Structure formats: C-alpha cells, structure tokens
C-alpha cells in the first residue's frame, strides 16, 4: 500500500496554478491506477529479480509513498530511498539518474517529486537500462492517470453545477436527442432522468420545438416566452437556447435553459415590491366594532373567495387588503396593487391584461405581461374599483369567470390563479343602477363584503390612534416627551373626522412639527377648510348618529353566505367547496344541517 499524499498530484504535471482541478494520490489510487501500477511493476520485476520496490518521493517533505514493494517481507532489502534521497535532492536531476551505488534510480516528476526504483543489490548495466524503461513507463502512466482524473473531476464538477440549477437545463443533439438533463428539467417535464436522457425531446413535448430553429439558424434565442404542450398539461415558460459550434462551424449541440414564467414573475414582483406590508396586528383599534370587522376579515382570509372592501376614504381599506392577503394561504405569493383611478383610460386594458408583440403602435418588442399575469398565484388588489372604466369591465369579468387572461392582440388565453380583493369608497349598487358599473361584475366581486366604519362611528379608537401616531412622528422628527393637553384630546374626540384616519394622521404630524412639548388645541388646525359630506358606501344605510352603532353583518350570516357561494361554484361538490374555503367536510355538513 501507500501512504496518503498531502499534496495534489497536479504538481507533477508542471501545470499552471488553477489550470486544472487538484487530484490527490487518493483519487488515483481509488480509481484503480495504483493497483494497476503495482501489477505492472510486479510483472516487470519478474523479469528483473534484482528490482525490489518503487516509490513516489516528494522533495519538500522527504516522505515516501509506496507504489510497489516486491520484497516487503524479505530481509534481503536495502534502505536506499531514505539514504539516497538527499543525493538526488542535492543534484536535482533533470533526467533519469542512478545513485552512486547503482541500487536506486530517480526520475524527476515536475519540480516537486521523484519516482524512485530501488533494488536489493547494485544493478548491472542491462538491468539498469531495463529499470529505466520501467520507471519511464510508470511515470508516463502516472501522468496520464492524473490527467484522466482531472477530466473526471471536471465532469463531476460540471454535473453538480447543472443539477444545482433552479431552472430546467437540457443538452440536445442535432436529432433532438437529450444528452443531459438536470432535475429541474425532469420535474417540469414530469419524467425521470433515466427516461429522458437518450430519448428524443419530441417524446415529451407535443408542440413545435424552438430549439429546431436554433439548430437550423445557429442563432441563440434569449428570454423567449413559449407555450409547450405536455402529455398532462400546457406550460407557459420562458426559454433561452444557446448553440454550441463544432470545429467546422456547424451546430453540434444546443444548451436549452427554461423555467415556468410564473417563477420569473414572482421574482420580478419581489424586486418591484409586489408584496403586502401590513398584518392585522398593525391595525390600531380599541372599539368593539373594529374587533368584529377584524374577525370578519380573518374569516375572509381563510379562503380564496373574492372580497369587496367598502368604506369612506381614509378608513384603511388598503391596510385591510394587505392583512387579508398575509393571513391567507397566498401570503408568500405576489400581492399586486392596481389603483384604478390613476390608470390612463386608454392604457387600462394593456396594463391589466398585457399585450403581444405588435399589438399596437409603440408596443414593446416581445410584448408585455399585464398585472393579472404578474399576480399569478397570489392576490390582485383593485383600489378605487368604482373608477374602473365601463368598457374594460367585460374583459375583467371574463378573467374572473374563466381564470384566463387574453393579452391584447393575442389568440390564446393564459391561465392565471389569482385572488381578487377590491376596495371602493363609492356606492357600487347605485353605480349599477345608473349604468356606470356592470351588475354581473358587482355580484362576482361582492362575494365577501368587509365594511370599514368611519372614524366618527368608533370614537374609542381615536385616542388610541392619536397616541400611536404621536409616538410615530416623535421618532420621525427626533422630538421627545411630547404630550397632548386635555383640551386637545377633547377636540380630537368631538371632531367629526370627515377624512378619517388619514386626516387624523396628517393632523398629528403637523401638530408634532409646530408644537413645543405640549400639543394644544390650536396646534390641531382643524376645520380650516370646508369638507363636503362623504359619500356612503352601502346603499341601504343612512348616516347614523354619533351614538348609534354602524351595522355589520353577523359572522354567522357571512359564513353561511360564503359556504353557499362556494357550493354554487363547485356545483354542489362538498369536498371541493371545503377545500376552497379551507374547512373540513364535517364542518360543511354541520353548517348545512343547521340550515334545515
């Protein structure tokens, strides 16, 4: 056997540093080379009985590594390696060199090591010549094996890189035979590496193959959106295919990279900030009515039904939308916000639904996805829903019904999995009566309704919110120990707050900036400008007096409404309805029995 070498054998090749992966003596031995050298030397030693052993000696640590010891158990053996190594180190032989006693031959390997061939007694001229040939043959084989092991390590390293990729990767031959495939590609194609490698790609993809164009033209395809048809489903992917050229300039292979487009959009959404930022814990409240609204919102978060949030401007509708999303099963998926009031009317359709290449003058080359596609797998929040143009509403309704998006100028619908949360401060029922909003779209969105009461109907929350906002803006301005005077607190409680929480926040922020330690009534600067009476959001509600409680549907009624709607969508299939609502089937049965 041999002693383990602490140095890479790559030094024996005189290779430039970093040119090759390091190969140790263990790598060579474990792949059978040293055993092969041992057998080779054993056969050669039979022709020259004087030969006893062969060593690999490293010059910088004076250690020996045995390749073969023909007389390991014999007393008839000298100890030439250690005795004569100094001689070879001092003389630094550039070629095959014997020691003075003619019992040891040294062959330099690179600048770091020697191969030593030793004999039990001095060698005559003919045996010395034979030993030199044996030593040179062993050295040549050793170098060849080192190169082989380096190549093997490079291949293994490349394989590890390929299989660590998160996107699909295929290496294809000109006849579309799969030469190599990573795990991500197998998963997307719903097959195994054993079945895929060696087979033609056409056995797994039943739609035109873009790589054929790359083989034909020799031009790479980069970031191209493609629909591929598999045996069990259609997949929307983004693909990059790069040709590999041979010595004659022909395309000998194509490297095919691809991933599902929803993964790319999810990444783009994270980078663009398409995520929710508020939870129910961030909603400051003390009143019973807000506790009930939050409980209703948590019930809505437990399923994927559409939610319509109503309330006056400034009550925190968007904050509730964020919280519903983060409390649901889609919390890690995109949360895409669309402000319907700020979209240019002539660009609403392209912003919502996207467009294909050449759909209109000025369209981006390659097309562009719409907000619905960017929200795939997550939630789309439509703020100021009442401002959605009437001409766009039929397309919007079609998306909700079919769960497919048709890009402007496109011919095929793109499947999307989205939850819709909408918010408005308008009376949508009145808009329906006036013909400004489609009735069918209203009922499609108004599955679960969350009404956020105005701040003047929940007086218990005013002081709680005021102290929270005071602390927030003290931190912003760097001021400390600011307090409210009694008159300021009384003014906060008696004011009607037509702008709701948003107006309260602006009032506190301004007061913190202009006060000097104590916020007095004069610092609040309220009722400077006349404010029109806010539009009510519920068609059947009259503005209640300050002492009256606003109406909120009982949780039991909302729960019943949600179950009935889910059963209708699922054609009475209780299992599917339970899965949609995130409830157990037994719970559905129990609720249904209570109806009778």
CATH topology classification for 459-524: Helicase, Ruva Protein; domain 3 (1.10.8)
pLDDT value at 51 more than 80: no
pLDDT value at 504 more than 90: yes
Average pLDDT on 55-63 reads: 61
Structure tokens at 319: 């904050």
Q: Determine which of 122-126, 350-354, 362-366, 584-588 has the lowest per-residue pLDDT on average.
A: 362-366
Q: What pLDDT score was predicted for residue 26?
A: 52
Stated as kind and residue range, the H or E segment containing 584 is none
Q: Determine which of 16-20, 244-248, 553-557 has the lowest per-residue pLDDT on average.
A: 16-20
pLDDT digits (tens, 9 = 90+) for 135-164: 888 777 777 777 777 788 888 888 888 888
**Domain 9-161 matches domain 165-261 at the CATH topology level:** yes
Half-sphere exposure of 76 (CA within 13 A, CB side): 10
CATH number for domain 165-261, candidates 3.40.50.880, 3.30.450.20, 1.10.760.10, 3.90.1010.10 = 3.30.450.20
111 burial level (CB within 10 Å; 0-12, 13-18, 19+): exposed
Structure tokens at 475: 């931190």
Strand partners, 227: 236
Higher pLDDT, 370 or 81: 370
Cα–Cα distance measured from residue 471 to residue 485, given in angstroms and rounded to the nearest whole number: 15
Q: What pLDDT score was predicted for residue 200?
A: 92
Residue spans per domain, the chain: 9-161, 165-261, 273-451, 459-524, 555-595
Query: In the sheet that 379-383 helps form, which strands lie side by side, from edge to edge?
Result: 335-339, 379-383, 419-424, 307-310, 448-451
pLDDT value at 94 more than 80: no
CATH topology classification for 9-161: Beta-Lactamase (3.30.450)
CATH number for domain 273-451, candidates 3.40.1360.10, 3.30.160.20, 3.40.50.300, 1.10.760.10 = 3.40.50.300
pLDDT value at 205 more than 80: yes
Cα–Cα distance measured from residue 304 to residue 577, given in angstroms and rounded to the nearest whole number: 11
DSSP 84-122: HHHHHHHH--SS-EE-TTSSEEEEEETTTEEEEEEESS-
What would you report as the CA-atom Rg of the chain, rounded to the nearest whole angstrom? 39
pLDDT value at 206 more than 90: no
Stated as kind and residue range, the H or E segment containing 270 is helix 261-272
Average pLDDT on 193-220 reads: 90
Q: What pLDDT score was predicted for residue 527?
A: 57
Could you identify the residue written with the tokens 């390749």?
Answer: 67
Strand partners, 581: none
| Spatial CA neighbour of 261 closest among 237, 241, 233 | 237
Cα–Cα distance measured from residue 396 to residue 441, given in angstroms and rounded to the nearest whole number: 8
CATH number for domain 555-595, candidates 1.10.150, 1.10.10, 3.90.550, 1.10.357 = 1.10.10
The rounded mean pLDDT for the chain is 79
CB atoms within 10 A of CB 540: 7
């Amino acid at each position: 056997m041999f002693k383990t070498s602490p140095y890479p054998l790559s030094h024996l090749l005189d290779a430039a540093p970093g040119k090759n992966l390091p190969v140790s003596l263990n790598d060579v031995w474990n792949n059978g080379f040293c055993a092969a050298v041992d057998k080779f030397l054993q056969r050669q030693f039979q022709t020259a009985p004087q030969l006893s052993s062969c060593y690999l000696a490293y010059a910088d640590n004076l250690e020996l590594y045995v390749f073969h010891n023909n007389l390991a158990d014999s007393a008839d053996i000298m100890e030439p390696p250690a005795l004569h190594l100094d001689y070879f180190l001092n003389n630094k032989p550039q070629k095959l060199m014997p020691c003075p006693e003619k019992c040891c031959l040294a062959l330099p390997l690179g600048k770091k090591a020697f191969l030593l061939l030793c004999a039990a007694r001095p060698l005559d001229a003919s045996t010395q010549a034979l030993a030199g040939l044996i030593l040179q043959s062993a050295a040549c084989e050793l170098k060849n094996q080192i190169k082989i092991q380096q190549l093997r390590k490079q291949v293994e390293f490349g394989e590890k890189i390929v299989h660590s990729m998160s996107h699909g990767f295929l290496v294809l031959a000109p006849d579309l035979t799969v030469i190599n495939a990573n795990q991500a590609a197998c998963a997307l194609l719903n097959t195994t590496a054993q079945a895929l490698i060696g087979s033609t790609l056409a056995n797994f993809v039943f739609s035109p193959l873009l790589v054929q164009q790359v083989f034909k033209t020799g031009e790479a395809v980069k970031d191209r959106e493609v629909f591929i048809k598999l045996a069990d489903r259609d997949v929307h992917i983004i693909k990059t295919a790069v040709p590999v050229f041979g010595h004659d300039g022909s395309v000998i292979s194509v490297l095919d990279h691809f991933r599902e487009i929803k993964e790319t959009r999810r990444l783009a959404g994270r980078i663009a900030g398409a995520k929710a930022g508020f939870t129910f814990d961030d909603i400051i409240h003390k009143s019973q009515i807000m506790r009930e609204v939050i409980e209703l919102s948590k019930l809505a978060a437990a399923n994927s039904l559409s939610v319509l949030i109503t309330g006056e401007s400034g009550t925190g509708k968007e904050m509730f939308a964020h919280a519903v999303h983060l409390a649901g099963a889609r919390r890690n998926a995109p949360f895409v916000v669309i402000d319907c009031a700020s979209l240019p009317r002539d660009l609403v359709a392209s912003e919502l639904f996207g467009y294909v290449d050449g759909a209109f003058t000025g369209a981006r080359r390659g097309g562009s996805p719409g907000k619905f596609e960017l929200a795939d797998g997550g939630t789309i929040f439509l703020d100021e829903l009442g401002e959605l143009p009437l001409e766009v509403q039929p397309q919007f309704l079609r998306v909700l019904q079919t769960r497919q998006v048709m890009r402007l100028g496109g011919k095929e619908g793109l499947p999307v999995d989205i939850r819709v949360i909408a918010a408005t401060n308008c009376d949508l029922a009145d808009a329906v009566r006036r013909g400004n909003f489609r009735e069918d779209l209203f009922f499609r969105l108004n599955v679960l309704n969350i009404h956020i009461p105005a701040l003047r109907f929940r007086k218990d929350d005013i002081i709680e919110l005021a102290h929270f906002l005071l602390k927030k803006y003290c931190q912003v301005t760097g001021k400390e120990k600011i307090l409210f005077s009694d008159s300021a607190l009384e003014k906060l409680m008696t004011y009607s707050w037509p702008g709701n929480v948003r107006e309260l926040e602006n009032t506190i922020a301004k007061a913190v900036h202009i006060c000097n330690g104590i916020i007095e009534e004069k610092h609040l600067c309220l009722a400077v400008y006349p404010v029109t009476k806010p539009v009510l959001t519920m068609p059947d509600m009259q503005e209640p007096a300050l002492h009256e409680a606003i109406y909120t549907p009982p949780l039991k009624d909302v729960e019943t409404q949600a179950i009935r709607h889910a059963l209708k969508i699922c054609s009475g299939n209780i299992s599917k309805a339970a899965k949609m609502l995130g409830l157990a089937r037994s719970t559905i049965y129990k609720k249904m029995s209570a109806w009778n």
